[in-house]
Amino acid sequence: MSTGYVFHPIYLKHDTGTHPERSERLTAIMNLLTEKGVLDRLVKVEAKKALIREIEQNHDHAYIEHVQKVCEREGALDLDTPVSKDSFEAALFAAGGLISAVDQIMNGKLRNAFALVRPPGHHAERARGMGFCLFNNVAIAARHLKLVHGIERVLIIDWDVHHGNGTQWSFYEDPSVLYFSTHQYPHYPGTGRIEDGGSGEGEGFTVNVPLPPGVGDKGYLEVMREVLVPIASEFSPEFILISSGSDVHERDPLAGMKVTSGCFGTFTDIARELTSKVAVTLEGGYDLTGLSESVLAIFNSLAGLDLDLGQATYDRKERDVSDVISRVKNFQRSYWGI
């Protein structure tokens, strides 16, 4: 089976001006994938526009109407989240694009896929858009997997540098979705403490790994292998959704991490070892070179392209994460055999 990609011209019409989350991000990605001949080796997934009822699986109807009205007058959902007249349509196609990718995987037409969509989504809460996000694409896709395809265990891996507060709260009481997040802390939006581990029936199914600035390849891979792999293996996901933020890249202007481009491929390798069904969706990443190279590395893993992109770097000076890993394990030990 093949690897798919999602792209639609409407994503470029979400006009944010000179905002960090701008259309040039996708243009840079598509240019590099074309230059490297990667697109010819992938299957294009036709993005559909998500139905309002599909958005309502994760968002209040009144909020959806609010987003539409704000887009019509080209306003902003908050100080960080400007929108234009085409943003509502783009947001529907962003959620729908990931749904399309998920459907293709579940129908056996694709092995895995990467949805190159915008606006991003992981900060969007049930009735609040924020942090460049309108609708929570990955949460909507997770609900679609459960409701339409009958998937009982979904793992969401979120390696964006910012904590995905919207995704966390979407499933905070839901044991069928395991949410795993690595993120710089303290940093926007201020959520994602180790102790935020879910509630009610969902207690133990949120795993937060807040990291200090300065963590690079070595630290991230230690977290994934020592925390993610044992917990996820015990959870035994049927499907993995990845919120891929390239803003942990060493070049990113909005954060302070030191991850190199090639390491994103290693991240993806680790996820693929946990289950065969994997769909990635684009979140943050604001240095155009770092972003496009990171996406290339992810496709290199998903499609087995054997491109020479360099190896993860272990010999650079970076922040140690052993104390964070120890504290996360101590907390999660109440729920998992870690």
Radius of gyration of the chain (CA): 18
CA–CA separation, 75 and 240 (whole Å): 35
Active site residues: 123
